Amino acid sequence: MRFDKTSSAGYLANHMARLFAQGLHRRVAPLGLAPAQFMTLLELWAEDGLTQKQLVARLDVEQATMANTLARMERDGLITRTPDPHDARARRIWLTARARDLEHPATVAARAENEAALAPLSDAEREVFLGLMRRVINGLRQG
């Protein structure tokens, strides 16, 4: 029996994620951002001063991936890092004025990509779809 990718939740989720990432990239690249930077900024716009470890946990990414993303963000003038006063091994990540100024245009771009992606769905279908996605994500996180 052949593997039917159109019936595989993992295959479809991965394909959809790649298409979302490509669309988001097209929309945030003019702002000087990459999708991974945007996702990190979302967390920092919600709560500035997080540690790398906290960002890794919130974004479900590998430590090395986050380290590379933060290095690029620091190089690009989006963040600064300072020692954590409570943990000598940790550093706090802070937004720069440039990063704060990007919040509105970047979130507008992301909303536009989400709207374009979900356009084929009715409002009721969107709510069901997003609710099911959240349930699957929570289930995968738990186990």
pTM beyond 0.95, yes or no: no
Distance CA 81, CA 108 (A): 27
- pLDDT, one tens digit per residue, over 41-50 is 999 999 999 9
- pLDDT, one tens digit per residue, over 18-54 is 999 999 999 999 999 999 999 999 999 999 999 999 9
For residue 110, the model assigns a pLDDT of 96
In percent, the amount of the chain with pLDDT more than 70 equals 100
SS3 132: helix
Mean pLDDT of the 70-75 span: 97
